Structure 1
Amino acid sequence: MFENWLPELRRRSLETSRPTSIADLMEEFWKEPMKVFEDFPASRRMAFPSVNIAENDKEITVTAELPGMEAKDVDISLEHGVLTIKGEKKFEQEEKKEQYHRIERSYGAFSRSVRLPKAVQEDKVKATYTNGVLTLTMPLAAEAKSKKIEIRS
């Protein structure tokens, strides 16, 4: 990876028939390592799956994007206020031989854990999976619900 930058810099210096400055060397030195990330899709740099966590006065709702997966390939667990979504997204390969020019879709095993903002009733969690979106509805535990305290005069 890094072994290519110095010969390339020397070649450019010879082509322009002017010496390369230290500033040019430093610029090239910092550009080259960043090229590693050019072909690395943003989706792989972010946590997978992407989740949204919403709360109202009765429940917490978590939605997770799991495109191209089936519900049977997803495991969900909730322990001590930490929600974990695990699974494996398999590479779809047809019998015919195809030459791929670019693969940006993520494949393989994944595990994503998030701490819930409040305690929930773990035995009453409902999960649905529609069009690649997992939705978990979790009623708040009694101790997590806000209570209005009235002031007596």
Structure 2
Amino acid sequence: MDQLMRAVFPIGGYPESGTGEPWAPLADIVDTEDAYLVELELPGVDKDQITVEVAEGELDIHGEIKEKEHTGVVRRHTRRMGQFDYRTTLPPNSDTEHVSADLTSGVLTVRVPKTETGKGHRIEITG
């Protein structure tokens, strides 16, 4: 019955693990003075399982979490497995040539520096 309910009403509105449908990891986007920081929760994922790409003003982070082999009987399975995909559009003042990524303690932090040309400034009114 539990499996039937989860198939009809998946937890968090995402497809059930193992359906082949990509899911999006939890993420925060922080706007600092000199950069945008995109932080994604990816516990237990190695950096070689993640691809970070920037193209046409869009940041695309995707990869796959493979299911671990268990020696016992799995009584409950709620962790996400399979393909994941996170996409976001970058603001016009993003310096896409100098994007960096760091994976520490299960959190992927992608740093997108801001360019000088896109920074806002005050316009003096004349007349």
Place the TM-score, normalised by the shorter chain, in its bin: 0.7 to 0.9
The runs of 5 or more residues in structure 1 that have no matched partner are: 2-32
Q: Does 1:117 align with 2:87?
A: no
User: Which residue of the other structure, out of 41, 48, 58, is the alignment partner of 1:72?
Assistant: 48
Please state if 1:131 is matched with 2:105.
yes
Map of 1:141 onto structure 2: 115
Residues 151 and 61 of structure 1: CA distance in aligned 2, closer, same or farther (over 3 Å): same
1 CA distance for matches of 2:97 and 2:77? 40
The 2-side partners of 1:36 and 1:122 are apart by 41
Give 4+ residue runs of structure 1 displaced > 4 Å after superposition.
Answer: none
TM-score with structure 2 setting the length: 0.78
Correspondence for 2:20 = none
Question: Per the alignment, do residues 132 and 34 of structure 1 end up closer, same or farther by CA in structure 2, a change over 3 Å counting?
Answer: closer
Q: What is the TM-score of this pair, normalised by structure 1?
A: 0.66
Do 1:57 and 1:145's aligned partners in 2 also have CA atoms closer than 8 Å? no
What is the number of residues matched between the two proteins?
118
- 1:35: how far off? 8.4
Q: RCO (CA 8 Å, sep 6+): is it higher in 1 or 2?
A: 2
What do you get for the CA RMSD once the two structures are aligned? 2.7
1:99 aligned residue (56, 73, 91): 73
1:43 CA displacement: 7.4
Q: Residue 41 of structure 1 aligns with which residue?
A: 11
CA distance in 1, matches of 2:58, 2:7: 37
1:54 aligns with 2:24: no
Would you tell me which structure has more helix in proportion to its own residues? 1
- The residue number in structure 2 matching 1:6 is none
Q: 1:75 offset after TM fit, Å? A: 0.1
Q: How far 1:147 sits from its partner (Å)?
A: 2.2
| 1:37-63, Cα deviation, whole Å (9 max, x unpaired) | 2xx332735x52111112133211111
Which of structures 1 and 2 has the bigger CA Rg?
1
- Relative to its length, the structure with more strand (as a share) is 2
What percentage of aligned pairs have identical amino acids? Answer: 29
CA deviations 1:46-85 (Å, max 9, x no partner) are x521111121332111111111101111000011221100
